[in-house]
Amino acid sequence: MMNILHLDSAITGEASVSRKLTADIVAKLTSQNPTATVTYRDLAKGVPAIDGIWLEATRGMGDDNSAAHAAAVATSDAYLSEVKNADVLVIGMPIYNFAMGALLKSWIDQIARAGVSFRYTEAGAEGLLTGKRAIIAYSAGGTPLGSEIDHASAYMRFILGFFGITDVEFVAADGLIFDRDGALARADAQVAELAA
């Protein structure tokens, strides 16, 4: 049975193109895998930024066993559990100011934990979240996917690979301010061609 983790991060609500794309991608996957389960998380509702308390709590530093430490670990563990249980991650990545939004970056920071999502060996870093597929719904007004002004997609491919998720593909609706209908049509065609 396929387990899908569906993440949205756009702050634009129902007007969001990336939200439309993630919903379409999940619909395509579930139509071809009727027994699939879907776990949904809307990162726009808030993702705590990592801080000193998070660092102490997740690395077992200091002697503080406070409620703040416990809450920091519980939040991070919840995000990690969702990723670990997923076979496919469908991630909405709208571009703001040529990069991913802060909420999506905070989610990445929450799951970037040595010994949990990656580890260092004598041979170098090793990702621990292997055997997963990621489909990124990329939406941008004027930042073409893979262009020199796109500071999000290469990082996303790298960091997921660092975690061991190397099967990464993008569905892109870019150039929306120039040709919205065309961008949406191209993205829809990419969704239609996705292998389930």
In the chain, what are the domain boundaries? Answer: 3-48+75-193
With a cut of 70, which residues of the chain have pLDDT below it? Answer: 62-65
Q: Which residues are known binding-site members for FMN? A: 16-18, 139-142
Task: Tell me the residue length of the chain.
Answer: 196
Q: Which residues are known binding-site members? A: 16-18, 139-142
pLDDT at res. 108? 98
Per-residue tokens: 50:
């990592």
The CATH topology of domain 3-48+75-193 is Rossmann fold (3.40.50)
Cβ 153 vs Cβ 173: under 8 Å: no
What gap in Å lies between CA 181 and CA 110, rounded to an integer?
Answer: 36
pTM of the model: 0.95
Strand pairing of 118-121 and 124-127?
antiparallel
What gap in Å lies between CA 4 and CA 47, rounded to an integer?
Answer: 20
Element (DSSP H or E) covering residue 98:
none
pLDDT at res. 63? 63
Query: Looking at residue 142, what DSSP letter applies?
Result: S
Per-residue tokens: 85:
């249980």
Residue 95 φ then ψ, to 5° = -100, 125
Cα–Cα distance list, 163 to 56, 90, 188 (Å):
21, 16, 29
∠ CA 173-49-43, nearest 5°, is 40
pLDDT at res. 196? 72
